[in-house]
Each structure stands twice: as structure tokens, then as C-alpha cells.
């Protein structure tokens, strides 16, 4: 059965994910290093992992498999999930895939190099999260669930 994993630290679409999962009767694992209020919904499992860099990512990557979905803004985690046979989606609705993940990794590395070369540069961390991003996310998650139904027998919906 498909499970949706949420890389929950700083995730702006936890509630939206649960609404879609509930409609399809899919389990959701909300994974974080702490600070996330447990959700009493019977489909939700709140997982608090130890503190440290990438501990939540490691927990998710170790458990995702064919038919699962990972909600994350972390490109490295998305790559690991895709390699395990899962699907991945960014908070703004961008779908990660085998065909685009290499380019996304290269862009991430390039931007890290640019930031490192100019550490005193002013500027923000990017555009703010919008209603359009939320809408794209909902559409993208629905698409991934429909794909999972074709991959994994017994996915509800």
C-alpha cells in the first residue's frame, strides 16, 4: 500500500497532504526532528527522529519504496526516494523524476558554489510560498497518487 512520507521540518503543505491522503485513505508519516505537534488523525503517524543533520531524511530514505510518495524540498532526499522506486514532489508542486533530478542536483550544487563565492551577498532565500504553489502541489500530489494506483495493487481511492 502506498504511504506518503512528509519531510515535515518547514513543510508548508502538511494539512493539504492530509486532506488528499484522507480522500484516498492513504497512510501519512510526518517525519521531523521535533517541534511538530502530533496529529491525532488515524491515518497519520508522527515520527520524531533524533537531532542531527539529515537524520529525518535518512529515516525516510530507508523506508520509501515502490509506490510510496515523498513530500520534500530536499533534492538529495528526492533523489534517494526515486532511486528506491518512490515518487517525490516539492512543496510548490514540482514533481521530481528520474529525467529531471540530475539537472536539479546540478543547479543546487551551482547555487551552493555561488553562495560560497560571495558569502556577504545580500538577498533573500527566494520567493514566498503562494496560493498558486499550493494549488500546483495539490494537483501534483493527486497525479502521483493516480500513478501509484497503477503501480501498486490495492491503493485505495
Residue range 3-12: mean pLDDT, rounded: 93
The predicted pLDDT at position 9 comes to 83
Sign of the C-alpha dihedral, residues 34, 130, 71, 22? Answer: positive
DSSP H helical ranges for 46-152: 55-63, 75-83, 101-117, 131-151
Q: What is the helix (H) or strand (E) element at residue 28, kind and residue range?
A: strand 27-32
pLDDT over 90 (residue 44): yes
Cell numbers at 152, concatenated: 501498486
pLDDT over 70 (residue 95): yes
| CATH architecture, domain 3-119+129-151 | 3-Layer(aba) Sandwich (3.40)
Return the bridge partners of 29, or none. 5, 45
**Which carries the bigger pLDDT value, residue 108 or residue 47?**
47
What is the residue-averaged pLDDT of the chain? 87
Q: Kindly list the domain boundaries of the chain, sorted by start residue.
A: 3-119+129-151
pLDDT in tens, 112-150: 667 777 766 655 556 688 899 999 999 999 999 999 988
- The conformation of residue 16, written as its DSSP 8-state character, comes to H
How would residue 79 be classed by pLDDT, with cut points 50, 70 and 90?
very high
The predicted pLDDT at position 66 comes to 94
Lowest mean pLDDT of 30-34, 80-84, 90-94, 112-116, name the range: 112-116
How would residue 68 be classed by pLDDT, with cut points 50, 70 and 90?
very high
Question: pTM of the entire structure?
Answer: 0.85
Q: Do 68 and 5 touch, CB atoms closer than 8 A? A: yes
Amino acid at each position: 500500500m502506498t504511504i506518503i512520507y512528509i519531510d515535515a521540518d518547514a513543510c508548508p503543505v502538511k494539512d493539504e497532504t492530509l486532506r488528499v491522503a484522507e480522500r484516498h485513505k492513504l497512510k501519512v508519516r510526518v517525519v521531523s526532528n521535533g517541534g511538530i505537534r502530533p496529529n491525532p488523525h488515524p491515518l497519520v503517524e508522527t515520527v520524531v527522529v533524533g537531532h542531527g543533520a539529515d537524520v529525518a531524511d535518512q529515516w525516510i530514505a530507508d523506508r520509501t519504496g515502490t509506490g510510496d510518495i515523498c513530500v520534500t524540498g530536499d533534492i538529495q532526499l528526492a533523489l534517494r526516494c526515486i532511486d528506491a522506486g518512490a515518487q517525490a514532489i516539492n512543496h510548490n508542486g514540482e514533481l521530481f523524476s528520474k529525467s529531471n533530478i540530475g539537472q536539479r542536483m546540478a543547479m543546487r550544487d551551482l547555487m551552493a558554489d555561488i553562495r560560497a563565492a560571495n558569502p556577504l551577498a545580500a538577498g533573500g532565500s527566494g520567493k514566498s510560498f503562494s496560493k498558486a504553489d499550493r494549488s500546483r502541489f495539490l494537483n501534483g500530489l493527486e497525479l502521483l497518487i493516480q500513478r501509484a494506483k497503477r503501480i501498486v495493487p490495492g491503493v485505495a481511492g
